[in-house]
């Protein structure tokens, strides 16, 4: 007879549970410093090693400037809500990476921002003073959300969860609800933009205006339902669209009702929780929320209709998207805009049909390009390239083959023939948003890529590079363009053939490619006309400087030496290679500067109030650039001989990043509501309007020199060594309801609390639940060295109801002599654990985990527990996940894998006194023993291949095949508590021995399957039923509905007691016990029947409906309904059929298993807000 650990209140989380918010890896090579002001403490990192350190970094200037801006903004922002913080707010500056970061946790009084604003922040927001923008925005969150909160600052929500299992009906139902502040997205993020404006640090810039303008004109505004939820995005740029719609809405309310309207919503919410936060709109303004939204929409529609009419009256320049196909919606002339409805879409009727038609149209438009940036032709006109969302693409195309530039339709025979030879020749992944350039005289380019670009490009399947120092900075890469000749069917192509690794397509790494030495943190290269040098920007501490270097990495020269947040955009060489043009943002002013190629003779081309950007020399020495002179970014041309400026484009969406083509046309980046597109304007269609007088040409050299040399004095902000201050503790009240039996409901209440230091080196987590059962957990993690370390303890008590069917004559067919005996025992459990976890890169991590455990039992009324087991184990784990943290939450993950390999060495000592300190399992008397255990789990999510016909349609609509293989073995017979455990499980189950995913053998009861050998495979087919539903259903905002059908085959095999009576004896519980341990035989997988369940192989099949949604517009609330059918009858020990009664009659087949069986049948699982 065995005793089992039935309940553990919380899982033993891996050490990575306390990973840092931004970086996968730690940086122990850094020291931290702090700058204290009256209301803030700013923390920043600096490298210890200052000699020959390729990864040297500091963020001192950024921290000093942040301290100054923070103190200046404090009284202004607090005055917005008349809410003055008494506690200091901590600002943590990051400089370990090259990407934009900015977020806050108001309950912790903690803001974290990067010194580096990333590649293209200036294109999002039209200005480049990153620090005030992000800092004031995040502090606005701190103040507004604290003012808005109606709970205590440390507890932002209450978690109520329940799980009910019913064995007779074969159902498991669970749910969780978070009750707390449910602020809508448009107010939270748009409000932070608005209050930054109110405080004098932000304004409605041309880029913000462009986002809303094009969303209005191209019918892409978020609806009233869409803009309320924090996860509303269903298409390109919806996140930024939500920010700016909320900001625009605040400006509208200010104009209609007064400056304080947006603020009053927070103060109104502070009075008490509302079922729908948006009801505060009516309380404050007297107008219901949906009506206010309609009023605002009419307001912006009228505004931009007038603006568009004015632009057309002035003369809109003709322009077209550069594409190799022609689309019905393509913009061919100023009067033929967006006249597009595919017949299939037009057939959809009603509100739902119109909504689907609109979204299908949006997707079709997005499919032509969403992040196309920095277009240009090679000097010889042979190649056309673009940075397409971080995928660098080169096409062997001439202008004649692109109708937008040639005017020749694709039906023309010559063009059609040319297109037969087109193919993508993408050397590799490039850094998102950054510029690049062709190398004159060579089939090659210089791009921006991570320092580990080659390793990542050559291993797109597993991405298992070893990253020891945690840095992956941007560098310049020299990339030859390789040309292959290959066939696809009957057509011969010239270009570079894509490789394919399990559905992941990528280009072969080109021969001769190399990382240009000495270009760490180098971005936006421009190659000299003779192909020998590269001008680029080098980043450090919130600042860019201009550098030149030979293309082989020698003769590096810094042409500027800024240390004050100066930001540069786009540099280009003059045709003779003697002059450099660069856009420069300094002291709230954005202008274009010229300098000699050695950095001397610096002068401003213009010095004005416009945002002048993206200089690009033409073949004859003129300069193309863009400017927001009219409130819309347009392209202009400065004539180097006459000094005149002529307007080139006049489009409602604007034009940026211009480049001249070999034939004198212009290609550029155009913003649309469905993506950043590459467009072209033919030379004959240039606007050619003289706007020279509008630009500050020939500025006063004295004023320019003074501005160029000005340095802000920040000496008052003196850093001191970081002292590991603790962030404000935060917690969440917990209520849990479970059932130990059908008629025994257990209620628990408690809380979870979390605290750490400000730079996330130390973390402490505590959780406690009390009630009929109780549990507690304490865990500490340290992330201040290369690996993560974790120590913790878990303990608790639980009641175990039991029932026995007593049959005096051992004959189940006679019932008059049967009685039921019911009782309740108690169980305790306790773990201590520790672990070391090292992330090699964002996808792959190694860990060592050690665990000591004990659990035991007592009858109700007994004073003391009888320990059942003492044990411990050490596990070594390798985990790879291309999905990252999305694996647990994505409804339809595809094109990736999860691989988990674990080896465990363990020791168990059975000490249960009622059994004499021993137990029988599978015919062997077990006392103390050591064992080895190995398990491999491989999950592969494969997009249905687009092989034509129905498969192409399935691929288009994101159908996915998932294969999940789980195999494992233990090298000896062990107690059941040490075996592999299988059977259906609810994702909200908090117990031990959880099996992931829980769809493996979901057709059988939880814990019903066990053994020392495991082999099972689950095959699933997933497809969206409704993608991007994006609609409110009561308090839920539903994004999509996904269906999954699946089936599992396999089994868990154990050891079999001997059948020969001479080789075993029966113990007091009627179990066979081998006289010699060697007579217990290991079952052979796929050959033997697993005696514990009575089957060679087990099979089940099922279906699952997944609903991705948000509750109260704030809390993720993913739900599911699953039904599974187990095809096999299974046997077992104890309560096999789930009626909470264990049969005690003698086995009819003479073994130690129960006469009870679980018949083939359905099992049902429901999870509301629990995930899947």
pLDDT at 630 over 80: yes
Return d(Cα 635, Cα 633) in angstroms, integer. 7
> What tokens appear for 692 in the block?
């020279």
In a domain, 952, yes or no: yes
How are beta strands 110-114 and 89-94 bridged, if at all?
parallel
Contact in structure between 452 and 78 (CB atoms under 8 Å): no
493: β partners: 486
Model confidence pLDDT, tens digit, residues 802-847? 766 666 766 666 767 666 766 678 889 999 999 999 988 888 899 9
Average the pLDDT over each of 30-34, 359-363, 1010-1014 and give the range with the smallest value.
359-363
Tell me which of 152 and 1081 has the higher pLDDT. 1081
Q: Find, among 931, 1163, 961, 926, the residue nearest to 1067 by Cα.
A: 926
pLDDT at 1155: 77
Distance separating alpha carbons of residues 727 and 16, to the nearest angstrom = 20
pLDDT tens sequence across 167-189: 888 898 999 998 887 888 899 99
Tell me the average pLDDT across 1070-1082. 89
Q: 930, 934, 933: which is closest to 909 by C-alpha?
A: 930
User: What's the total number of domains in the chain?
Assistant: 2
Report the distance separating Cα 879 and Cα 843, nearest Å.
8
Max mean pLDDT among 367-376, 795-804, 1081-1090 falls in 1081-1090
Q: Is 1098 inside a domain boundary?
A: yes
Bond preceding residue 1139 cis, omega within 30 of 0 = no
CB-CB neighbours of 994 under 10 Å:
15
**d(Cα 559, Cα 571) in Å, to the nearest integer?**
12
What is the band of 397 on the pLDDT scale with cuts at 50, 70, 90?
confident
Q: What is the pLDDT of residues 113-139, one digit of tens each?
A: 999 988 888 888 887 688 899 999 999
pLDDT at 303: 96
**pLDDT above 50: residue 641:** yes
Residue 500, pLDDT score: 41
Q: What is the pLDDT of residue 1166?
A: 93
CATH number at residue 610: 2.120.10.30
Contact by Cβ (8 Å): 934, 903 = yes
Choice among 31-40, 387-396, 505-514 with the minimum mean pLDDT: 505-514
**Which of the given ranges, 643-652, 995-1004, 1027-1036, has the highest pLDDT on average?**
643-652
**With the C-alpha atoms ordered 729, 735, 738, 740, is the resulting torsion angle positive or negative?**
positive
- The domain in which residue 1102 lies consists of 936-1172
Decide if 482 contacts 495 (C-beta within 8 A): no
CB 286: neighbour CB atoms within 10 A?
9
The pLDDT value given to residue 1089: 94
Tens of pLDDT, residues 696-722: 998 999 988 888 888 899 999 999 999
Tell me the range of 223-232, 339-348, 681-690, 1024-1033 where mean pLDDT is highest. 681-690
Please report, for residues 964, 1002, 1014, 1149, the alpha-carbon distance to residue 1098 in angstroms, rounded to integers and kept in the order given.
16, 11, 12, 21
Phi and psi for 482 in degrees, rounded to 5? Answer: -90, 145
**Helix locations, 377-527, DSSP H:** 403-406, 413-419, 453-458
Q: How confident is the model at residue 1068 (pLDDT cuts 50, 70, 90)?
A: confident
Q: Give me the mean pLDDT over the 785-801 stretch.
A: 91
Section 424-432 average pLDDT:
56
Q: Which of 697, 719, 753 is where one domain is finished?
A: 697
| 683-700 mean pLDDT | 94
Q: For residue 773, how far is the Cα from the chain centroid?
A: 37
Please check whether residue 820 lies inside any domain of the structure. Answer: no
Domain boundary among the residues 662, 697, 732 is at 697
In DSSP notation, 77-101 reads: HHHHHT----SPEEEEEE-SSSS--
Domain membership of residue 1079 (yes or no) is yes
pLDDT band at 905 (very low <50, low <70, confident <90, very high): very high
Strand partners, 601: none
**Pair of tokens at residue 372:** 């196309």
pLDDT-wise least confident of 169-178, 888-897, 927-936:
888-897
Side-chain half-sphere CA neighbours of 867 within 13 A:
11
| Model confidence at 465: pLDDT above 70 | no
Greatest mean pLDDT among 60-74, 210-224, 448-462, 1025-1039 lies in 60-74
Give the angle subtended at the CA of 76 by the CAs of 70 and 80, to the nearest 5°.
Answer: 125
Mean pLDDT of 290-312: 95
Q: Decide if 448 contacts 523 (C-beta within 8 A).
A: yes
Least confident of 38-52, 480-494, 853-867, 920-934: 480-494
Predicted pLDDT at 748: 92
DSSP-derived secondary structure for 1102-1169:
EEEEEEEEEETTTEE--EEEEEEEE-S-B--SSS-SSSS-EE-SPPTTSSSS-S--B-SEEEEEEEES
Give pLDDT, residue 943: 94
* CA atoms of 217 and 121, how far apart (whole Å): 24
Q: pLDDT category, 495, cuts 50, 70, 90? A: low
C-alpha 353 chain-centroid distance: 31
Q: What pLDDT, on a 0 to 100 scale, did the predictor assign at position 1144?
A: 63
Helix axes 60-81, 130-148, angle to 10 degrees: 40
The stretches of 380-537 forming alpha helices (DSSP H) are 403-406, 413-419, 453-458
Residue 883: predicted pLDDT: 80
Identify the domain boundary among 697, 723, 755.
697
Poorest-confidence range of 339-343, 580-584, 811-815, 1080-1084? 339-343
Query: Residue 966 falls within a domain, yes or no?
Result: yes
- Residue 634 to residue 612: CA distance in whole angstroms: 10
> Shortest CA distance to 31 belongs to which of 721, 540, 717, 718?
721
Residue with the two structure tokens 């809380």: 751
Residues 1084-1105, mean pLDDT to the nearest whole number: 94
Q: Residue 1072 and residue 1057: Cα distance in Å, rounded?
A: 7
pLDDT category, 725, cuts 50, 70, 90?
confident
Query: Which phi and psi (to 5°) does residue 586 adopt?
Result: -145, 135
- 977: in domain: yes
Q: What is the pLDDT of residue 351?
A: 44
| Residue 681 or 412, more confident | 681
pLDDT on residue 427: 42
Tokens of residue 53, six digits: 């350190």
**pLDDT band at residue 728 under the 50/70/90 scheme:** confident
Nearest alpha carbon to residue 184 among 113, 302, 278: 278
Q: How many residues does the chain have?
A: 1172
Where residue 424 falls among pLDDT bands split at 50, 70, 90?
Answer: very low
In DSSP notation, 753-787 reads EEEEBTTSSEEEEEEEEEESSEEEEEEEEE-SSSS
Residue 693 has pLDDT above 50, yes or no: yes
End-to-end CA distance of the chain: give it in Å, rounded. Answer: 34
State the pLDDT at residue 122.
81
643 confidence band (pLDDT: 50, 70, 90):
very high
Cα within 13 Å of Cα(490), Cβ side: 0
Place of tokens 């429901």: 1166
888 — pLDDT class (breaks 50, 70, 90): low
And the tokens for 650? 């006049």
Reported as a pLDDT band with limits 50, 70 and 90, residue 52 is: confident
Spatial distance between the Cα atoms of 1049 and 1098, rounded to a whole number of angstroms: 6
As a whole-number percent, the residues of the chain with pLDDT over 70 amount to 85
Give the pLDDT score at 318. Answer: 85
Q: Three-state DSSP class for 1065?
A: strand
Cα(430)–Cα(996) distance, integer angstroms: 35
State the pTM of this model. 0.91
Between CA 792 and CA 655 the distance in angstroms is: 57
Whole-number Å distance between alpha carbons of 1141 and 451: 63
Whether residue 992 is predicted with pLDDT greater than 70 in this model: the reply is: no
Share of the chain above pLDDT 90, in %: 52
Question: Domain for residue 303, yes or no?
Answer: no
CA distance 401 to 398: 6
Q: Is residue 267 part of a domain?
A: no
| pLDDT, averaged across the chain | 85
- Say yes or no to pLDDT of 372 above 50: yes
Give the pLDDT band of residue 740 (cuts 50, 70, 90).
Answer: low
Q: What is the CB neighbour count within 10 angstroms for residue 1141? A: 19
Determine the Cα–Cα distance for residues 466 and 125; give it in Å rounded to an integer: 37
Cα angle 804, 806, 808; round to 5: 165
Q: How confident is the model at residue 13 (pLDDT cuts 50, 70, 90)?
A: very low
Task: For residues 671-676, give the mean pLDDT.
Answer: 90
Phi and psi dihedrals of 588, rounded to 5?
65, 20
Q: Reduce the DSSP state of residue 310 to 3 states and report it.
A: helix
Query: Does the pLDDT at position 1003 exceed 80?
Result: yes
**Count of CB atoms within 10 A of residue 500's CB?**
11
Q: What pLDDT is attached to residue 663? A: 93
């Amino acid at each position: 007879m065995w005793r089992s650990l039935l309940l553990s209140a919380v899982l033993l989380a891996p050490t990575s549970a306390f990973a840092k918010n931004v970086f996968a890896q730690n940086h122990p090579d850094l020291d931290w410093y702090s700058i204290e002001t009256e209301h803030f403490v700013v923390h920043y990192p600096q490298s210890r090693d200052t000699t020959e350190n390729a990864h040297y970094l500091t963020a001192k200037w950024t921290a000093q400037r942040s301290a100054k801006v923070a103190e200046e903004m404090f009284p202004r922002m607090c005055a917005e809500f008349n809410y003055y913080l008494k506690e200091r707010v901590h600002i943590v500056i990051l400089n370990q990476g090259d990407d934009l970061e900015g977020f806050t946790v108001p309950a912790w009084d903690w803001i974290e921002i990067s010194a580096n604003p990333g590649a293209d922040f200036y294109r999002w927001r039209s200005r480049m003073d990153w620090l005030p923008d992000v800092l004031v925005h995040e502090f606005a969150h701190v103040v507004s959300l604290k003012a808005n909160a109606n709970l205590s600052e440390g507890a932002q929500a209450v978690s109520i969860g329940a799980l009910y299992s019913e064995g007779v009906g074969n159902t498991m139902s669970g749910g969780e609800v978070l009750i707390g502040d449910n602020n809508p997205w448009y107010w939270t993020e748009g409000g932070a933009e608005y209050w930054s404006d109110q405080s004098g640090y932000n304004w409605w810039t041309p880029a913000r205006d462009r986002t809303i303008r094009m969303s209005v004109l191209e019918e892409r505004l978020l609806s009233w339902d869409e803009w309320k939820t924090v996860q509303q995005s269903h298409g390109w740029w919806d996140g930024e669209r939500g920010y700016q719609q909320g900001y625009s809405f605040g400006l509208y309310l200010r104009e209609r009702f007064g400056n304080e309207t947006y603020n009053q919503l927070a103060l109104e919410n502070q009075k008490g929780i509302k079922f729908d936060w948006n009801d505060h709109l009516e309380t404050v303004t007297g107008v219901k929320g949906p009506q206010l939204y309609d009023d605002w929409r009419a307001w912006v529609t009228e505004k931009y209709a007038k603006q568009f009419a004015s632009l057309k009256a002035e003369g809109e320049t003709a322009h077209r998207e550069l594409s190799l196909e022609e689309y019905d919606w393509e913009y061919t002339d100023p009067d033929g805009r967006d006249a597009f409805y595919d017949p299939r879409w037009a057939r959809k009727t009603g509100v739902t049909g119109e909504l689907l038609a609109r979204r299908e149209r949006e997707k079709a438009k997005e499919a032509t390009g969403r992040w196309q940036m920095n277009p240009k032709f090679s000097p010889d006109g042979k190649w056309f390239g673009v940075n397409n969302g971080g995928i660098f693409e080169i096409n062997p195309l001439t202008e004649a083959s692109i109708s937008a530039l040639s005017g020749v339709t694709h039906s023309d025979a010559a063009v059609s023939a040319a297109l037969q030879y087109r193919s993508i020749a993408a050397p590799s992944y490039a850094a998102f948003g950054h510029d690049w350039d062709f190398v004159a005289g060579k089939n090659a380019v210089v791009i921006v890529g991570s320092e580990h670009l080659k390793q990542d490009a050559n291993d797109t399947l597993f991405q298992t590079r070893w990253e020891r120092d945690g840095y992956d900075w941007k560098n310049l890469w020299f990339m030859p363009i390789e040309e292959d000749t290959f066939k696809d069917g009957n057509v011969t192509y010239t270009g570079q053939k894509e490789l394919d690794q399990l559905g992941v397509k990528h280009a072969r790494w080109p021969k001769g490619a190399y990382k240009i030495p000495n270009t760490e943190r180098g971005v936006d290269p421009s190659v000299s006309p003779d192909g020998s040098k590269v001008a680029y920007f080098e980043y450090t501490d919130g600042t860019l400087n201009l550098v030149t270097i030979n293309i082989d990495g020698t003769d590096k020269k810094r042409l500027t030496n800024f240390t004050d947040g100066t930001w540069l955009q786009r540099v280009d060489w003059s045709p003779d290679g003697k002059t450099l043009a660069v856009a420069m943002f300094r002291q709230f002013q954005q202008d274009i500067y010229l300098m000699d190629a050695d950095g001397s003779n610096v002068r401003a081309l213009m010095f004005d109030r416009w945002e002048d950007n993206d200089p690009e020399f033409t073949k004859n020495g003129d300069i193309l650039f863009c400017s927001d002179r009219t409130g819309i970014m347009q392209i202009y041309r400065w004539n180097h001989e006459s000094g005149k400026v002529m307007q080139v484009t006049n489009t409602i969406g604007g034009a940026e990043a211009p480049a001249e083509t070999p034939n004198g046309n212009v290609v550029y980046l155009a913003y649309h509501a469905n993506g950043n597109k590459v467009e072209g304007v033919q030379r004959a269609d240039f606007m050619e309007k003289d706007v020279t007088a509008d630009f500050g040409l020939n500025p006063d050299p004295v004023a320019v020199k003074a501005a160029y040399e000005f340095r802000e004095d920040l000496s008052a902000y003196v850093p001191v060594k970081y002292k590991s201050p603790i962030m404000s503790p935060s917690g969440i009240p917990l209520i849990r309801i479970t059932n130990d039996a059908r008629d025994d409901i257990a209620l628990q209440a408690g809380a979870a609390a979390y605290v750490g230091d400000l730079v996330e080196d130390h973390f402490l987590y505590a959780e406690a639940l009390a009630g009929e059962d109780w549990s507690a957990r304490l865990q500490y993690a340290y992330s201040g060295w290369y690996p993560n370390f974790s120590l913790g303890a878990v303990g608790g008590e639980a009641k175990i109801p039991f029932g026995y069917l007593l049959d005096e004559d051992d004959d189940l067919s006679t019932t008059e002599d049967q009685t039921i005996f019911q009782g309740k025992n108690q169980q305790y459990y306790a773990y201590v654990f520790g672990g070391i976890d090292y992330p090699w890169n964002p996808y792959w991590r190694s860990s060592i985990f050690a665990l000591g455990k004990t659990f035991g039992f007592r009858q109700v009324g007994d004073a003391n527990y009888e320990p059942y087991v003492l044990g411990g184990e050490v596990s070594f784990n390798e985990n790879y996940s291309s999905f990252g943290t999305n694996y647990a939450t994505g409804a339809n993950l595809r094109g990736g894998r999860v691989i988990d390999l674990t080896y465990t060495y363990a020791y168990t000592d059975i000490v249960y006194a009622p059994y004499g300190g021993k137990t029988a399992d599978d015919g062997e008397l077990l006392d103390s023993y050591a064992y080895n255990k190995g398990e491999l789990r491989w999950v592969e999510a494969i997009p249905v291949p687009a092989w034509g016909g129905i498969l192409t349609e399935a691929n288009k609509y994101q159908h996915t095949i998932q294969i999940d293989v789980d195999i494992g073995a233990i090298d000896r017979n062990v107690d059941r508590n040490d075996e592999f455990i299988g059977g259906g499980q609810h994702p909200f189950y908090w117990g031990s021995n959880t099996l992931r995913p829980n769809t493996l053998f979901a057709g059988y009861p939880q814990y019903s399957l066990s053994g020392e050998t495991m082999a099972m495979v689950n095959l699933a087919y997933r497809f969206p039923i409704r993608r991007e539903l994006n609609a409110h259903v009561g308090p839920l905002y539903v994004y999509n509905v996904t269906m999954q059908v699946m089936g599992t085959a396999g089994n868990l095999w154990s050891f079999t007691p001997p059948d020969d009576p001479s080789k075993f004896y029966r113990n007091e519980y009627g179990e066979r016990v081998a006289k010699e341990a060697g007579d217990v035989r290991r079952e052979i997988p796929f050959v033997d029947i697993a005696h514990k369940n009575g089957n060679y192989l087990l099979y089940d099949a099922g279906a699952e409906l997944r609903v991705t949604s948000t509750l109260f517009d704030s809390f993720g609330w993913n739900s599911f309904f699953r039904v599974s059918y187990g095809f096999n009858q299974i046997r077992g020990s104890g309560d096999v059929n789930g009626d909470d009664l264990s049969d005690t009659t003698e086995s009819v087949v003479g073994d130690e298993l129960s006469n009870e069986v679980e018949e083939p049948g359905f099992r049902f699982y429901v999870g509301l807000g629990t995930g899947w």
